[in-house]
Every structure is written in C-alpha cells, then in structure tokens.
Chain A
Amino acid sequence: MSGLKKLISIISAAAVSVTALTANVSALETYDPYSYDRWGDPVASQVGYTAEKYVDGEMIGCGNFYEPADLFISHDNLMYIADKGNNRIVITDLDFNFKKELKEFNYNGETLTLKKPTGVFVDQYTGLVYICDTENDRVLKSDTDGNVDRIFTKPESELYDQGLTYQPSKVLVDKAGNVYVVIKSVTKGAVMYNADGEFLGFYGANRVQQTAEVLANAFWNLISTEAQRERQAKQTPIGFSNFDIDDDGFIFTVTDSQEINTDLVKKLNPRGDNILDSLGVSDMTFGDMPPTYYSIYSKRSSLTDIDIGPSGELNILDFQHGRIFQYDKECWLMFIMGGTGDQLGLFRSAAAIESYDNKLYVLDSRKNNITIFTRTVFGEIVTEAANLYNDGLYEESLEPWRNVLKYDGNYRRAYIGIGNALYNKYEYKEAMEYFEISISRGRYNRAFEGYRDQWLKENYMTCIIVIVALIILLTVYKQLRKRGKIVYPWEKRRKGGV
C-alpha cells in the first residue's frame, strides 16, 4: 500500500514539475512560438530571440518619436533612426545614449530641412549619411554634421518615365559608391546612380509571376493586332519594397506583396541576377505559409524589411503579422518571433529591423519605440549548429544538433543535420532513421544506397549460400512434384472426385 502511495506521489510530483516547467517556458514569451514542419503545417517550437526590453524617444532623451520609419546601424556602432513624423534623423549609440539629431542641413550656404524622411543609410567606406527625404523628392548625401555633399533627384532621362513621381523610400550604397534608391512608383527595380550622381539605370527588377492570366495574355498577344495590344493592360512586376547589403556586397531585396510568390526575397549579384535561384528557392514561400483554406481571418505575410545578420542569416520582418522570420544563409527557416499586440515582443506596425551581434532591433512606427531582442540559449545552439553545417562541417555539427533536439524535438533541421553527420561517418543505418523522421526522402535514398552496399559487402557469402540453397531446393521440389511425391490436399480431393 505504501509502495502504491509512493508511486502516486512520485507521479503527481512529476506531473506538477512538468506542468510547472512548460508553464515557465511559455511564460517567457507573450505568444506561442511555432515553426513549420516538412508539410508546411505549423508545429510548436521555441524562439531564437526573446524580447528583452523596449526603448522609446523619451528614454533616449530626444523627445518621443512620431511614426519612425527606418533604422540603421552603422559600421561605427551608431544607430540612425529616421523619425519620419518629426522630420529628423536621430543618432544614438547601441546603449541608446542620445548622440545627435540631424534636422537642418547646409548645402552651399543654403539651409535644407527634411520632410517625412523614410530611409537612412551610412556608407561604411566614406562614413557619409544618405537620407531619403521622401516628400521633398530627393536623396541627401551628407556628413554627420549636416553638410550636404550631393543631392540626388529625379533622373532626367528617357529611361525614367517623367510621368512617375520620385518619392525615394529606401537607399543604400555599395562598395563602388553606387547609390541605389527604392521608389514606390517604380516597378523596374531600384534607381541606380554612380558616385558622381549620374543616373545609370534600374537595378534588379522582379519578374512577373507566371499565372494563368499571364499565359492567356501571351496567347492573345500572338493573335491580336497592334492597336488591340496597345489598349491592353501591361503585365508589370511588383517592385521590391526594401533592401539591405551584406558584407560581400550582395544586395538582398524583399517584396511587400500578399498576392505573389515570385521573387519575394532575392539575393542580387552586381549584375542584378538573383543568385537564390541556384539554391532552388526563388519561388519559395518566405514568411508565413499561405493558409490551406481560404479565410478572411488568415492573411498572407507582407515582407517589409530585410536585414543580413553577422553570419549571413536573413532577418525578415512581416508587417502583416508583426513577425520576424529568421532564415540562415541557405534560406532554411530558423525561428519565428513576434506577433501582433501591445505587449513586449509584439508589434502594431513593424517598420524596420536591424541586427547587431546577437541582438535584433525592431522599430515599430505606431508604438513609436524600438524593441530589443536578445538571442536565447536555444538560438545560440541552433546558430552554432547551422553555421557549422553550412560550412560543410557536418560531423562537428553533430553535437550541437543533438543539443537542439533536447530543447525542441520538432526542429526538423536538427534531424537532417544529425542524419548528414552520421552519413558522413558511414553510419548509414542511423542516418536512415534520422532522415526518415525528418521526411527527407532524397537524403534517405543516399543513406539507403550506402547501407545496402555495406550490408551486401558484409553478407556477401551468406547471400550466395542462400541463393544456391534456394536453387537446389527448387529443383528437388520440382523433381518430387514430377514423381508425385508431393500432393496437396485440394488436389487429392479433386482426384478422388474424378
């Protein structure tokens, strides 16, 4: 009896501790962390970054922000905030000590002010600040004291349709000093200038998504006359909405659209070609998976900003759901953080994301603050494992991946990582198990091939003996049947009947 009581008390204690543990884990976040499995179904997961605190203008000491639109961390670890509603650029350090604000600029003796600036960028080679002065239709290139060096305005070129407005929203500069400007009304890509302010053309246009409508139009174009074609609506791609440049000089773009899948996220080489194509992910779904069944409550993600992290990971900000999606450089989904709401870690109108070391900074233009996310232990392990894996060090990544599974048994990529490590160690049987759990059939196929070869080599003699024995048995059986020594019962009955 006492044994039974003991058992019950142990079980109930275990149950209590388990519930306490789970409660503790979920209490860390103000939302339910999730990820996607092989089939694109959401499964419970853990976060890689947790919201630590938020900072607003009062706390910085520069007065509250009003609809801030962009965030940028420069090479000398200063944070630039484009405070759109207050027509200024605020500069702080990474501990949010107020440094300076840029409100008035000096251009050849003339004083310039900003009007709704929505983009800011600092060139790491020259240290000059580029500001999208959106409603003044210009991009300013200035030093940090507000002395304007050059103004980029609407290009007077035949290439640029003069009927279009010129309202720059985002800007960046590459190694060569070329300036790229995203303009909402232009769908041909970013407007590109050289270092001298000369208009070079457009850069990195998206493709038109191949839909049934596009194909039908292509067919009608074959048979319609010139005049009919004139009147038809042109198929134009959706222009990308934001971009970032990584340390190797590749430009990443995101497209803010809930209708298309094509070219939502691109990695462009200097020629403007999307090199994610070679990974086979150019039509991949970034952000939330589209809902299986149509519902007015479920909306597709709309990607509003992208940031490239220190080890090449892609931090993509979803305006629609206020979520951060982190992908590694091979475009594997790592973590999903955030949501919509007023609590810490949730957003009302997520506008911009930046990363520094193991922190993420997210700017909310309705809450008028910046939320700081710090990488969790889980995030550290996954990042370590993924980096080793992406460098081809599969065997070294084995232990980190095993650690990942201790935290999150749903983490599909850990199974693939372990499987690959075991495969490289010629432990095919175990590798097959992990590939089966992670439902990666191509890898399973390779592991199975290895396992079969191994098995055949080990059991070569046995196989031969079994085959020879079978042949002998079969011949003996046939001989016996011929001589009538083996008669099955149903044949007996039949013969008796006849």
Chain B
Amino acid sequence: MLDLTKGQFVKHVILHPFEGFEDLRWKKGGSMKIAFAIVCLLFVQQIAYSRLYGFQYYSDYDKIFNIVPYIFKSFILFITWVVANWAMCTLFDGEGTMKNIFINSAYALVPYISGYLIGTVMSHFLIRDEYVFIQSVEIIGLCWSFVLLISGIKAVHQFSFGKTIALMLLTVVAMIAMLFLLVLLLTLFQQVIIFILSIYTELSYRFRV
C-alpha cells in the first residue's frame, strides 16, 4: 500500500487532509526540494495576486514596484513560522524536526496558493458582478489550507487536536516577538553603522586639514 513517489505524495497529502500527513510521516515521503519549490510558488502567487489581477478589480498604486513586501509576505513570514513553531514545540515535547515542520507547512499551503492563482486567472474573465465566484474559490483554498495546516502540525508533532491549536496560537505570538526583535535588531545595527560612518567622516575631515 501507498507506494507513492515524492511527487505523488503531495497530491495524496492534499486530497487526504486527515490521514495524509500521518502517511507522509511514516513513509518519509516528504521532499525538501518540493517544499522549497512550493514556498517559491507562494512568492510568485503573492506578486501575481497584486500585479497580474484583472484590471477591473484591484486598485493599488502600481506606478512603482517594490519587491521587498512580497519577499516579506512569502519567504520571511514562512520561515518565521517554521522557526517559531519549532521553538514552541520543544516546550510542548513535540516530535517534529525543523525539516519536517518546513515540509508539512509548505505542503499545507498548496490549496491556498492554487486557490489564489486560479482566482487571479479567473479575474481576467469575470466582471465585478461575478466577483463572488472568484471569492469563493479563494476562500475555499484558504480554508482547505488551514485545515491542512492544523492536520500537518498535528501529525508532525503527534499532538492532540487541542494541543495543536494551542501550539499554533503560541507560534503566532512567537512570530510577532521574533519579528519585533528582528526590527529592533535592524534599527540598532543601523544606528551602529551610522555611528561608525560618522566617526569615519569626522576622522577623514581631520586628516585632510
């Protein structure tokens, strides 16, 4: 039974929200390469969603394009989630390794990404009155991903349902704390760099005279 390739496992996991991740765990069917590809796809989807959406729908200021928010919304947020989840699970005696959390979380994102990508494509064929169709596709994708995420985290740590929810909430708190510290760190480094630069400028003026 379940003699699947790594690629086939992705499909299996997504279509079997409740036992898929358990199978993945026992068969060691997860692939880091596929997981990373999915995260890259998330990045692509974020850009597509705000840039390639049907002209009649979006209303963003699109004179300039800044890639940093998209990197943040995909890679940084995802990696923060993985790290925060791993850090929190050690407190709860979870069994997941960083790699497995990464794989399971990435696999869980597939319906979300595809839902929004399908919505983006649909937005080129539908008018505003028919937005509800796009919206339903996107919402179904989102909910599906959420269910998968719970199931994936539950399987990777071998938790009960309640414990999984608690862990996920704590993960979000930890993510906020991490991002806060990150911003703090960046600002402090900026200050240090400015300090060093000003000393350099000062000295260069001194020696020139």
A→B interface (CB under 8 Å):
39, 41, 436, 441-442, 444-445, 448-449, 452, 490-491, 494, 498
A444 x B3 contact (CB < 8 A): no
A441 x B63 contact (CB < 8 A): no
Interface size on B, residues (CB 8 A): 13
What string of 1s and 0s marks CB contacts (under 8 Å) between B1-39 and chain A?
001010100000000000000000000000000000000
Find A490's partner among B5, B57, B127 (CB 8 Å cutoff).
Answer: B5
Give the residues in chain A near B5, CB-CB below 8 Å.
490-491, 494
B125 x A441 contact (CB < 8 A): no
What string of 1s and 0s marks CB contacts (under 8 Å) between B60-89 and chain A?
010100000000000000000000000000
Give the residues in chain B near A444, CB-CB below 8 Å.
55-56
Find B125's partner among A442, A445, A452, A498 (CB 8 Å cutoff).
Answer: A452
Complex-state Cα separation, A436 to B59, whole angstroms: 12
A441 x B59 contact (CB < 8 A): yes
B→A interface (CB under 8 Å):
3, 5, 7, 55-59, 61, 63, 125, 127-128
* Listed residue (B56, B63, B127) with the most chain A CB atoms within 10 angstroms of its CB: B56
Complex-state Cα separation, A449 to B171, whole angstroms: 45
Complex-state Cα separation, A449 to B130, whole angstroms: 11
Q: State the main secondary structure of chain B at its contact with A.
A: loop
Q: Given A441-B56, A444-B55, A448-B56, A490–B128 Cβ distance below 8 Å?
A: no
Complex-state Cα separation, A444 to B123, whole angstroms: 13
A448 x B63 contact (CB < 8 A): no
Give the residues in chain A near B55, CB-CB below 8 Å.
436, 441, 444, 448
Complex-state Cα separation, A436 to B58, whole angstroms: 12
Complex-state Cα separation, A41 to B63, whole angstroms: 11
Give the residues in chain B near A445, CB-CB below 8 Å.
56, 127-128
B125: nearest residue on chain A (CB-CB)? A452
Give the residues in chain B near A442, CB-CB below 8 Å.
56, 128
Give the residues in chain A near B128, CB-CB below 8 Å.
442, 445
> Distance in Å from the Cβ of B34 to the closest Cβ of chain A?
13
A447: nearest residue on chain B (CB-CB)? B56
Given contacts A41-B63, A445-B128, 12 further A-B contacts (CB under 8 A): A39-B61, A436-B55, A441-B55, A441-B57, A441-B58, A442-B56, A442-B128, A444-B56, A448-B56, A449-B127, A491-B5, A494-B5
> Distance in Å from the Cβ of B67 to the closest Cβ of chain A?
20
Complex-state Cα separation, A498 to B3, whole angstroms: 10
Q: State the main secondary structure of chain A at its contact with B.
A: helix
B54: nearest residue on chain A (CB-CB)? A448
> Distance in Å from the Cβ of B59 to the closest Cβ of chain A?
6
A448 x B127 contact (CB < 8 A): yes
A39 x B127 contact (CB < 8 A): no
Give the residues in chain B near A498, CB-CB below 8 Å.
3
Question: Could you pull out 24 A-B pairs where Cβ atoms are within 8 angstroms?
Answer: A39-B63, A41-B63, A436-B55, A441-B55, A441-B57, A441-B58, A441-B59, A442-B56, A442-B128, A444-B55, A444-B56, A445-B56, A445-B127, A445-B128, A448-B55, A448-B56, A448-B127, A449-B127, A452-B125, A452-B127, A490-B5, A490-B7, A494-B5, A498-B3
Give the residues in chain B near A441, CB-CB below 8 Å.
55-59
Complex-state Cα separation, A407 to B14, whole angstroms: 58
B130: nearest residue on chain A (CB-CB)? A449
Complex-state Cα separation, A490 to B4, whole angstroms: 12
Complex-state Cα separation, A369 to B127, whole angstroms: 56
Give the residues in chain B near A494, CB-CB below 8 Å.
5
B127: nearest residue on chain A (CB-CB)? A449
A37: nearest residue on chain B (CB-CB)? B63
Complex-state Cα separation, A436 to B61, whole angstroms: 14
> Distance in Å from the Cβ of A449 to the closest Cβ of chain B?
5
> Distance in Å from the Cβ of A489 to the closest Cβ of chain B?
12
B61: nearest residue on chain A (CB-CB)? A39
Complex-state Cα separation, A160 to B7, whole angstroms: 83
Complex-state Cα separation, A444 to B127, whole angstroms: 10
Complex-state Cα separation, A449 to B55, whole angstroms: 12
B56: nearest residue on chain A (CB-CB)? A445
Complex-state Cα separation, A494 to B5, whole angstroms: 7
Smallest CB-CB A-B distances: 3 pairs: A445-B56, A449-B127, A445-B128
* Listed residue (B3, B59, B61, B128) with the most chain A CB atoms within 10 angstroms of its CB: B128
* Listed residue (A442, A444, A498) with the most chain B CB atoms within 10 angstroms of its CB: A444
* Listed residue (A39, A41, A448) with the most chain B CB atoms within 10 angstroms of its CB: A448
Give the residues in chain A near B57, CB-CB below 8 Å.
441
Complex-state Cα separation, A490 to B5, whole angstroms: 9
> Distance in Å from the Cβ of A67 to the closest Cβ of chain B?
44
* Listed residue (B7, B58, B125, B127) with the most chain A CB atoms within 10 angstroms of its CB: B127
Give the residues in chain B near A41, CB-CB below 8 Å.
63
Give the residues in chain B near A436, CB-CB below 8 Å.
55
Complex-state Cα separation, A312 to B58, whole angstroms: 34
Give the residues in chain A near B127, CB-CB below 8 Å.
445, 448-449, 452
Give the residues in chain A near B3, CB-CB below 8 Å.
498
Complex-state Cα separation, A441 to B57, whole angstroms: 7
B3: nearest residue on chain A (CB-CB)? A498
Complex-state Cα separation, A50 to B148, whole angstroms: 67
Give the residues in chain A near B56, CB-CB below 8 Å.
441-442, 444-445, 448
Complex-state Cα separation, A41 to B61, whole angstroms: 11
Complex-state Cα separation, A41 to B64, whole angstroms: 13
Complex-state Cα separation, A192 to B27, whole angstroms: 87
Complex-state Cα separation, A490 to B57, whole angstroms: 41
> Distance in Å from the Cβ of B3 to the closest Cβ of chain A?
7
A494: nearest residue on chain B (CB-CB)? B5
A497: nearest residue on chain B (CB-CB)? B5
Give the residues in chain A near B58, CB-CB below 8 Å.
441
> Distance in Å from the Cβ of A443 to the closest Cβ of chain B?
9
Give the residues in chain A near B125, CB-CB below 8 Å.
452
Complex-state Cα separation, A11 to B56, whole angstroms: 41
Complex-state Cα separation, A441 to B131, whole angstroms: 14
> Distance in Å from the Cβ of B180 to the closest Cβ of chain A?
26
> Distance in Å from the Cβ of A40 to the closest Cβ of chain B?
10
Complex-state Cα separation, A448 to B7, whole angstroms: 40
Give the residues in chain A near B7, CB-CB below 8 Å.
490
